[in-house]
Amino acid sequence: MSEELVFGEEPGPERPVIEVDSPVNIRPKLSDIGIEEVERGVCQDTFENRALLRAHKMGWDPVYASNGVPTGLIQARSPEMAKARRVLSLGEKKPILVDPERMNSDYITGLDLLAESASDYLVPPWVIGATRAWIKEQEAGGPPSSKRQPAALPTRCKHVKEDGIRCMLWSSGRPKDDGYCRVHLGSVQRRPGEDVERARAKLTQAAPYAVDVLEDLMQNAQSEPVKLKASTEILDRAGVRGGVEFDARLEVTDGRQPAQVVAERLQRLANGAVQIAAKMTAAGLEVPKEDESDIQDAEVVEEG
C-alpha cells in the first residue's frame, strides 16, 4: 500500500511524491506522546522527535520520495508494528523450521537444509556454502589436518528479543560465537573502543539540536546558563569549537612592575657569575678575563 503525501498543494506531473508503505490504521499516533505529526505516524526527522520515540521504545524508518531522494521525514515504528512484521516474515520461513508451529523453533540444518527447495530463496548463500563444507568434511571423516579446526554448521541465532520472538538471522556455528549472529554477537562480545565510537556518533547527531538551542538562546533567552553550557559542551565534543582569545600581556601578581622583575633576574645572574668565579679561584682554576684590546675609545656626547 502506498500513499502520496503533499505539503499544501497538489503534486505536479513531475513533482516527486512521498511514499509511506505502512497502512494508516497500524501506525502509532504520535500526537499522544507530544510529537507534531505531518500525518499519522510520520514526523520531521529531528533530534527531539527521535529522543521521544526512543523514550517510548519506538523505532523509525526514513521516508523517501518516489524518486529515491530522502525527504527529511521519518515513519515511527511501534513495538506492535515491529512484532507484526517479524511474525509475517517468520510465517514465510516455516519451510525451514524444525517445528513450523513454534515461532522460536530451530532451523533445519545439514542435509535436510540442502534438500529443502525453499532454501534457495529463504537461506543466505553463505549458509548453504558453509553447510556443504560441513557435510563434505563429515563424509571425509573429519578435518584434513589435526591442526585445523572442524568446519562449523550454521544454526539459528539463539538471541530472544523483547517481544519474545527469537532472532531470525543465522549464527556461524563457531564455538567462539556462542550461537549468536553477527548482529547480537556485538552485544555480548564488544570490541574495545566500540562504546566510545557509539557515544561519539550520538554526540554528532545531537550537534544540530545544540545549534538550535544556542540560536534560540541568542534571540529569546534572558538567563539560561545551564542550557547554554550544555549546548556548548555538546558542540565542543562534536568538534565544533569556538575561537580562543590570546592575551600576551605580562601580569605580575605581587604588584611589581615588569622592569623591576627583569632587573632582579639580571642581578641574580650577576651574583651567580661572581659565585662561580670565586669557586674557580678557590679550586686553583684561572678565571677568563675580558680582552681589553677590543675596547675602543669613544667620546661622550651630551644632549643639548
DSSP sequence for 40-76:
TTEEE--HHHHHHHHHTT-EEEEEEBTTS-EEEEEEE
**Kind and range of the H or E run holding 74:** strand 70-77
**Rounded mean pLDDT, 191-212:** 72
**pLDDT greater than 50 at residue 1:** no
pLDDT range class, residue 107, cuts 50, 70, 90: very high
CB contact at 8 A, 182 and 169: yes
What CA–CA distance (Å, rounded) separates 97 from 156? 10
Q: pLDDT tens across 226-247, in order?
A: 677 767 776 776 666 666 655 6
Distance CA 267, CA 270 (A): 5
DSSP structure class, residue 97: B
Q: By CB neighbour count within 10 A (0-12 exposed, 13-18 middle, 19+ buried), where does 105 fall?
A: middle
Which of 296 and 186 is assigned the larger pLDDT? Answer: 186
> Residue ranges of the domains in the chain?
3-77, 84-188, 194-237
Distances (CA, A) of 87 to 163, 184, 254: 11, 19, 78
